[in-house]
Amino acid sequence: MSQKPQSLIHVSNLCKNYGENRILRNVSFDIEGGDLVSVIGPSGCGKSTLLRCLNCLEMLDQGEITIDGVCLRAADHAKDEDLFWRLAHCLRQNVGMVFQEFNLFPHKTLLDNIVLAQVVVKKENPKMAQKLASTLLEKVGLGAFGERFPWSLSGGQKQRAAIARALAMRPKVMLYDEPTSSLDPEMVEEVLQVMRDLDLEGMTQIIVTHEMRFAKDASDYIVYMENGEIIEISDEDEIFINPQDDRTRRFLKRYM
Amino acid sequence: MKRFFSLILLFIACELCANDAVLRWAADTESGAPNVFYEDESLAKLTGFETDIIERIAAIIGRKAVFCQNDYDVLIPGLQRGLYDVVINGIVTGSGNERNILFSKPYYACGLALVIRSDEEKIQSVLDCNESTVGILRDARSETILTDSLKKVKVVFYPNEYCALSDLNDGRVNAVLLDWQIAAYYVGKIPNLKIIDEIGESRYSIVAPRSSGKLIAQIDRAIDKMKADGSLEVIIAKWNLRNGHCEKLLAGGSGEQLADSAPTITKPRVQYAKILPLFAKAAVVTLTISILGMFVAVVLGLCLAIIRIYAPKWISFFAISIIEFLRGTPLLIQLFFVFYGLPRIGITLPPMVAGIVTLGINYASYEAENFRAGMAAIPHGQMEAARALGMNQWQSLRYIIIPQAFAFILPPLTNDFIALLKDSSLVSLITIVELTKMYSLTASNSLDFFGTGIVVAAIYFLIGLPFVRIARWAEYHLKLEKRAYSSRKGKKF
Ligand SMILES: Nc1ncnc2c1ncn2[C@@H]1O[C@H](COP(=O)(O)OP(=O)(O)O)[C@@H](O)[C@H]1O
Ligand SMILES: [Mg+2]
């Protein structure tokens, strides 16, 4: 087992099964603070499952996850379930998540979407929460849309609002699961730009994406997954110019 | 809201004020003439020969007579439940196998009268009724008399004498057998009817719970006194109800003859202006019960739905069983069970509370299903997004899932409210005077089931109308909301 939990995110030997199906097999990696990491790979290879494990939306079956010093071990669940879930809650506090389908709350305005969790989870003063929400909407270019309901927005606007909502919890890490996959092509860029801006501010981000050009240009690392395993982790240029593994080469060929 | 609660408090207060200064007596004024009934359809003043008698008795024993309305069928259960002190409503001395009540000395006696149409030729006495259809009130005596002596008679039961006699008039039955005094009163009012035969004798007593021996003794003494000073005879004469049987009963008592003339029995035309304020009051009761009942249903239904979806399996199974059981039993039985059954195990609810609770519980089973469907319709991503933001399961339900489910089920909820509004008419059977009860009270008094019926139907409709509008409005707005859910299929490479 690796003994250097210095990095912001440290994952070792992570396994996840659905019944007989082994979805994640001994996944291990480290990510330093401030990095932007793209995860690519064919459909069904376990990318979403990996992100969901990092956010404790799924129970891990084996291995351990450390994010910003909070260490969650699958083995602990059997020992002390209560402690495990308290740790999971702590860990989740440091992680923001953005979904392919936005998942904004349709019965609330954009501002209320962003205020709600701050008040309910962090017991933030509503006035302060409101202020932060306005600032964040401004930041993602939706300053004028605070009072609008999600259904009156375009897909790109919704996704930017969803990013603002996740940022309001002041996470150390942002996870994106195919954030642009359900957007019309002309809206993809506005969402990607938000992520680039966040990268410049030093946010640590993991992005599951099919936008190869974005992955190539913006990422510090690219992770290639297949069949529940990490096949290759490498520099953004290297993987495109000179993939180390045959499987990676075959996959990338279809995009180039 | 405040007003509703004060109304409930009032009912509770009524329950509690069982003190000695008043004599709470009960009867059914519906089709109550000439025993206990209202002078006119404004239901302002109570009259009838039993009213006169009980008021005189109350005066003699030094209590204030306070009237309580209850349905004839449940007069005795209400007595045992402590809703009132005594019942005076043509109860036959020693009738039934009521082990738990006390009978006073009889205050009146008469036979059973056979009523036929004037143009009837076949039937001249009770014995001619074999192979005929005879209407009777829900009264074991007349049924026993008929079926014991006549093998082929067909007996039809009627809820009240007016229905029986008007059916006779319309030719649906060949004859009606009922208490002579009621027949005597009505035969003057409905043309083409006559009394041809009289059989048997029944004596009427005031009844009280078995625990009220002292009260019954007082009442017996008062009745003796009324016989002695002739006031009983005066009352009976006033209502034109003298007959051979009661002469015997009164024998020994003297008294002046016919002090008053008999009350008029021709009805003036119904004055709707008079009954509208009554209906307004009754409508408030109906609305109160319906709204509070719905409130109970929604809160309870939501709890059941949450338990059903999120609780451990065996608790969830328990919730499902409750829901299915409540949905599978008639509301009326639940109502009687809660009101007359639960006191047996020490839970005695005031009528209003019993009505609201029963309607609420019954409808909770439907609302639970609505909520379950509503929550299932919320995309799974909503719960995930809430959990990803750090909310726990309860917070996610409370702030994200339930509000959306609520918007989703508002239309069926409103429909259920309309249904509940109509079902609330059943609480008239547990002594509450709401719209339906007010209808049968006023209409059986004025004998105008037609016009009054249209009025009361219109009131029900008008009460429900705003809620139907809300349903439409909600449906429209829900369509806007739904757009939020319809996202395009993600483009996968
Ligand atoms: N809740 C689930 N139950 C059973 N199998 C699942 C579940 N979720 C995902 N899977 C399976 O896990 C595999 C990986 O899924 P996923 O992580 O969504 O892949 P990706 O995001 O890379 O397309 C797929 O084969 C999928 O069928
Ligand atoms: Mg996926």
Fold of B109-203: D-Maltodextrin-Binding Protein; domain 2 (3.40.190)
Residues listed for chain B: 493
Q: Which CATH number is correct for B272-490, 3.30.750.24, 1.10.3720.10, 3.40.50.360, 3.40.640.10?
A: 1.10.3720.10
Search chain B and give the residue with CA nearest A107.
Answer: B404
User: Which DSSP string do the residues of A55-67 spell out, in sequence order?
Assistant: TTSS--SEEEEEE
Question: Which residues hold their Cβ within 5 A of ligand 2, which is an ion?
Answer: A 48
Are the beta carbons of B239 and B263 closer than 8 angstroms?
yes
How buried is B99 (Cβ within 10 angstroms: 0-12 exposed, 13-18 middle, 19+ buried)? exposed
| Cα(A49) to centroid(ligand 1), Å | 6
Interchain proximity B388–A121, CB inside 8 Å: no
Are the beta carbons of B49 and B242 closer than 8 angstroms?
no
ipTM of the shown complex: 0.92
Give the residues surrounding ligand 1 with Cβ less than 6 Å away.
Answer: A 18, 23, 43-49
SS3 A140: coil
- For chain B, how big is the Rg over CA atoms in Å? 28
How confident is the prediction along chain B (493 residues), in pLDDT tens digits per residue? 555 555 454 455 445 554 568 999 999 888 678 889 888 878 888 999 999 999 999 999 999 999 998 888 778 888 888 889 999 998 888 765 566 788 999 999 988 899 999 888 888 888 888 888 898 886 667 777 787 778 888 888 777 787 788 888 878 889 999 888 888 888 877 788 889 888 888 889 999 998 888 999 999 999 999 998 989 999 999 988 888 888 888 875 433 333 333 333 344 466 777 788 889 999 999 999 999 999 999 999 999 999 998 888 999 999 899 889 998 999 999 998 998 888 888 888 888 999 999 999 999 999 999 999 999 999 999 999 999 999 999 999 999 999 999 888 888 898 899 999 999 999 988 878 899 988 887 877 776 778 889 999 999 999 999 888 877 777 676 655 554 444 333 333 3
User: What residues contact residue B268 under an 8 Å CB cut-off, 6+ apart?
Assistant: B40
What pLDDT digit, counting tens, does each position of A211-238 carry?
Answer: 888 888 889 989 999 999 999 898 767 7
The model carries a pTM of 0.73
B390 Rama sector, left if φ>0, alpha if ψ -120 to 50, beta otherwise? left
DSSP B188: T
Interchain proximity A106–B404, CB inside 8 Å: yes
Q: Which pLDDT belongs to residue A100? A: 93
Which tokens belong to A234?
A: 């490498």
Q: Which pLDDT belongs to residue B139? A: 65
Interchain proximity B483–A181, CB inside 8 Å: no
Are the beta carbons of A74 and A62 closer than 8 angstroms?
yes
B361/B93 Cα distance (integer angstroms)? 40
Please report how many Cα atoms fall inside a 13 Å half-sphere around the Cα of residue B318, on the Cβ side.
Answer: 9
Which chain B residues contact residue A103 at CB under 8 A?
379, 381-382, 384-385
Residue owning the nearest CA to atom 5 of ligand 1? A18
Among A148-162, A192-206, A224-238, which is the least confidently predicted range?
A: A224-238
Which tokens belong to A18?
A: 């659905």
Q: Any CB–CB contact under 8 A between A103 and chain B?
A: yes
Upstream peptide bond of A179 is cis (omega within 30 degrees of 0)? no
Which tokens belong to B269?
A: 């035309």
Q: Which pLDDT belongs to residue B120? A: 86
Chain A from 1 to 30: CB within 8 A of any B CB: none
Q: Which pLDDT belongs to residue A27? A: 94
Q: Any CB–CB contact under 8 A between A213 and chain B?
A: no
Which chain B residues contact residue A120 at CB under 8 A?
391, 395, 399
Q: Which pLDDT belongs to residue B94? A: 74
Chain A interface mutation, best of B387, B389, B391, B409, highest count of A Cβ atoms under 10 Å: B389
Q: Which pLDDT belongs to residue B388? A: 93
Query: B340-346 — which CB contacts under 8 Å span 24+ positions?
Result: B340/B74, B340/B77, B340/B81, B340/B430, B343/B81
Q: Any CB–CB contact under 8 A between B484 and chain A?
A: yes
Q: Any CB–CB contact under 8 A between B383 and chain A?
A: no
Are the beta carbons of A97 and A178 closer than 8 angstroms?
no
Q: Which atom of ligand 1 is nearest to the CA of A49?
A: 17
Describe the strand order of the beta sheet including B86-87 as a list of residue ranges: B64-69, B22-27, B86-87, B207-209, B101-103
Would you list the domain boundaries of chain B?
19-103+205-249, 109-203, 272-490
> B19-103+205-249, superfamily in CATH?
Periplasmic binding protein-like II (3.40.190.10)
B148/B123 Cα distance (integer angstroms)? 18
Q: For B134, phi and psi rounded to 5 degrees?
A: -120, 130
From A17, A21, A59, A231, mutation site for ligand 1 pocket: most ligand atoms within 8 A of C-beta: A21
Q: Any CB–CB contact under 8 A between B380 and chain A?
A: no
B109-203 matches B19-103+205-249 in CATH topology:
yes
A226/A221 Cα distance (integer angstroms)? 17
- Read off the amino acid at residue A70: V
Tell me how far CA of residue A78 lies from CA of A16, A83, B392, B405, B412, in angstroms. Answer: 15, 10, 21, 35, 45
Reported as type and span, the H/E element at residue B200 is: strand B193-204
Q: Which pLDDT belongs to residue A105? A: 95
Tell me how far CA of residue B73 lies from CA of B106, B139, B222, B445, in angstroms. Answer: 21, 10, 27, 19
Measured at the CA of B187, the angle between CA B185 and CA B188, to 5 degrees, comes to: 75
